[in-house]
Amino acid sequence: MFKQIKSIVFWSLLYKFRKRVTLVSLLLFSALFSQFIYSDIVEYLKLKEQIDYLDYILPLKWIFILFCITSSVFLLLSLFKKEEVKEVKNKNKKIKKDDKEFSKREEKFLNKKVRNQAEILLDK
């Protein structure tokens, strides 16, 4: 019983946040994939005997990895902030609708039945 509930919760959350989850997984996958690219570049530079460029490639690799990780963390943390903002906006809309007062003329038209041309013809 508990397994089914846990499975339902997991799949419903995955379905709800599927765009964010795929984006986070792609970012983390690209961070891991950058390690393989870096090792290939190092081997190539060693074969060409251009080891001077290794000083530039290592910081670039780590900048890319840190960018992927921080953006993933930001995406995960921002999942829950959007829901709170939407609730506040909905509350503000309800308050604005309740505070609106109608003039006497507007109240008269609220209760008045509007008749269209077809109803007038049917009455004749």
pLDDT digits (tens, 9 = 90+) for 40-97: 999 999 999 888 888 899 899 999 999 999 998 898 888 777 555 566 666 666 665 5
> Between these two residues, 122 and 45, which has the higher pLDDT value?
45
Q: Region 14-33: what's the mean pLDDT?
A: 88
pLDDT digits (tens, 9 = 90+) for 87-107: 666 666 666 555 567 787 777
DSSP-based helix, strand, coil % in the chain, nearest 5: 90, 0, 10
- The Cα 52–Cα 78 span in angstroms is 41
Domain ranges of the chain: 2-91
- The Cα 72–Cα 112 span in angstroms is 57
Give the per-residue pLDDT at 108.
74
